[in-house]
Amino acid sequence: MAEVPLLETRGITVRFGGHVAVKDVSLTVAPGTVTGLIGPNGAGKTTLFNTVTGLQKPTSGQVFLDGVDVTKLAPHKRANQGLARTFQRLELFVSLSVRDNLRVAGDIHKANSRNKIDVDAETDRLLELTGLTDVAHKDVSDIPTGRARVVEVARALMTNPRILLLDEPASGQTEQETEVFATMLTDLAAGGLGICLVEHDIPLVMKVCSTIHVLDYGAVLASGSPEKIRTDPAVIAAYIGTEEEAV
């Protein structure tokens, strides 16, 4: 019997007036995997994320979490079912410390969940897991953008998600930070988390993703393994460029 995906979209279409932002997109995210979602700016990636999380109502199509249709559920109810995300534009409490950013998420999750976690202990665990212990006491406004991206990931993890949507999390990271971040994503997936990654850093996507979906003008242009996507003529022409650039 086939395993039920943690996340599935079926024929998602989103129209804004006469503009089709997302067109008949179907994809799945399995537990223990990192699934890539790439494409040019304006291809519909963030709109698809907004639809999955309930911030955008689809014109047609369905969203399933762990086999359950959540298309009509409010965002907070989807979050309670194990869905978390980060944003393309940083959405952090910049006047709070790194630690307190995580604690806020933990306190809210504890108040709205049956899982009564030890917020302090979980904060310490995630600070260590994400490599943020050394800046835990600093205000978010005082740390580099690349590390602030990691704070947003850590804050999302405070809600104990089963599905994590990451919207350009490596933006602003140095090459070394991206290497560390790639290892972290791989380790999180190995622990059973399902991750969907929107990212323009193609080498990162090729390194950590088992399956990649390419969007172009709102529609799926190609889907498959990194090897398949890297050499797909249509993908190279529309987005990646030469095969050498993809590598």
CA 140 – CA 178 distance, rounded (Å)? 19
38 within domain boundaries: yes
38, 205 Cβ separation under 8 angstroms: yes
Provide the percentage of residues in the chain whose pLDDT is more than 90.
82
**Mean pLDDT score of the chain, rounded to an integer?**
92
What is the CATH classification number for the domain harbouring 61? 3.40.50.300
Give pLDDT, residue 146.
Answer: 92
166 within domain boundaries: no
Vertex 86 angle, CA 61 and 93, to 5°: 135
Its domain, for residue 71, covers 1-82+188-247
Q: Give 38's Cβ-side CA count (13 Å radius).
A: 27
CB count within 10 Å of CB 70 equals: 19
Domain count for the chain: 1
Nearest one of 51, 28, 55 to 195, comparing CA atoms: 28
Q: What is the pTM of this model?
A: 0.91
Question: Whats the size of the chain, residue-wise?
Answer: 247
Rg (CA), the chain: 18
pLDDT by 10s per residue, the chain, length 247: 567 899 999 999 999 999 999 999 999 999 999 999 999 989 999 999 999 999 999 999 999 999 999 999 999 999 999 999 999 888 899 899 999 999 999 998 888 777 778 999 999 999 999 999 999 999 999 999 999 999 999 999 999 999 999 999 999 899 999 999 999 999 999 999 999 999 999 999 999 999 999 999 999 999 999 999 999 998 988 776 644 444 4
The 3-state DSSP class for residue 162 equals coil
144 within domain boundaries: no
48 within domain boundaries: yes
The 3-state DSSP class for residue 45 equals helix
* Burial class of 15 by CB neighbour count within 10 A (0 to 12, 13 to 18, 19+): middle
209, 35 Cβ separation under 8 angstroms: yes
